[in-house]
Amino acid sequence: MRREAAAKTLKQWITSKQGEMDIFFLWNGLGWPLIRLLFLVSAGLFVANFIESLNWTHKIARISGPLIRFGHLPDTVGGSFSMAFFSSVAANTMLSEAFDQERISKKQLIIGNLFNSLPTYFLHLPTLFFITAPLIKGASVIYVGLTLSAAFLRTALILLVSHYLLRAENMSVYRNGVHPKKIYTLQGALEKTWKRFKKRLRTIAMYTIPIYILVFFLHLLGLFDWLEGMASEHLGILSWLNPEAIGIVIFQLAAEMTAGIAAAGALLDAGHLNYREVILALLAGNVISSPIRAARHQFPYYAGIFSPRLAVELIFCSQIFRISSIIIVGVVYYFWTG
């Protein structure tokens, strides 16, 4: 009787207008994004394992050979760098698999993940340009050029750090692995890939699903809005900006980057701001909103590919390099155009 009553209540809730609205909201805000994320992570995991099973890593790494040699990095990092031009998930999965199998050290893992920021930027470059171009017009070329310069700058800094930090690494162990690799046929590689894929997918799902759900409900409870509000209250550090440009930064904090670009386009069209002021505001908003965006969007899938603790370390390091490079480029632009 209790089961029938509960089922009847649930049915009434689902068929009610509020129930339909709640289910629609949960599906669009949580269900579908989570399914899409798991699909992308699964696809990246399968591709990375398949490439590794066929021992193609060293072949793919040849594309970035000179950079890898300068940074004293193993072939796995080079293969991951090349793969990141097509899929950042597959690239990170390659690093995670190599680290779990002790083919690369933790230092090499962290540097490899940082090193992938350049191809990851190129992966999103077309989207960034075609969003900014219609809204801020000619300023988009300068803004995209500055963010691209920041990507090249942090890659150069990462390679310099790697060159001196990893010089003493025993490359004979981490470049070629502890044991010689077995050469698999296509069928053998697929069988090995499927076996490792099923095992690893369970671990990824075990971390990704609850963390993604937790982040979703923390967002509903207003945690990220509170963080954004705290950041907005301390925008006095941006006193060097035109007061009207502060609105662009707030839009980037309160919503997504597209909202900030749309606000910049409106102020630009109205003649309230010039190209320089718009670009500086977008760069400032990029710096301030980046950590919150990383916690909301990047951490759930990073925690599935890597361990949650390692995911925090990787995101922290990447944010340090990303923010520093944008600040350096922004300061140069500020004084160059002043």
In a domain, 3, yes or no: no
Is 11 a domain residue? no
Is residue 145 assigned to a domain?
A: yes
- According to the model, what pLDDT value does residue 171 have? 46
> Does 197 map to a domain?
yes
Q: Which helix (H) or strand (E) holds 250?
A: helix 246-254
Range of the domain at 88: 19-336
Domain contains 292: yes
Tens digit of each residue's pLDDT (9 = 90 or more) over 26-71:
766 666 776 776 676 677 667 666 666 655 555 555 667 788 888 8
Task: Let me know if residue 13 belongs to a domain.
Answer: no
Inside any domain, residue 324: yes
Checking if the pLDDT of 193 tops 50, the result is: yes
Predicted confidence at residue 316, as pLDDT, reads 94
What pLDDT digit, counting tens, does each position of 230-246 carry? Answer: 555 555 566 667 677 77
Residues 278 and 235: beta-carbon distance below 8 Å: no
What value does the mean pLDDT of the chain take? 75
Q: What is the mean pLDDT of residues 138-164?
A: 92
Residue 331, domain member (yes or no): yes
Q: What is the count of structural domains for the chain?
A: 1
pTM of the model: 0.71
Share of the chain above pLDDT 90, in %: 17
- Distance (Å, whole) CA 82 – CA 89: 12
Q: Supply the pLDDT for residue 153.
A: 94
Report the alpha-carbon distance of residue 296 to residue 192 in Å, rounded: 34
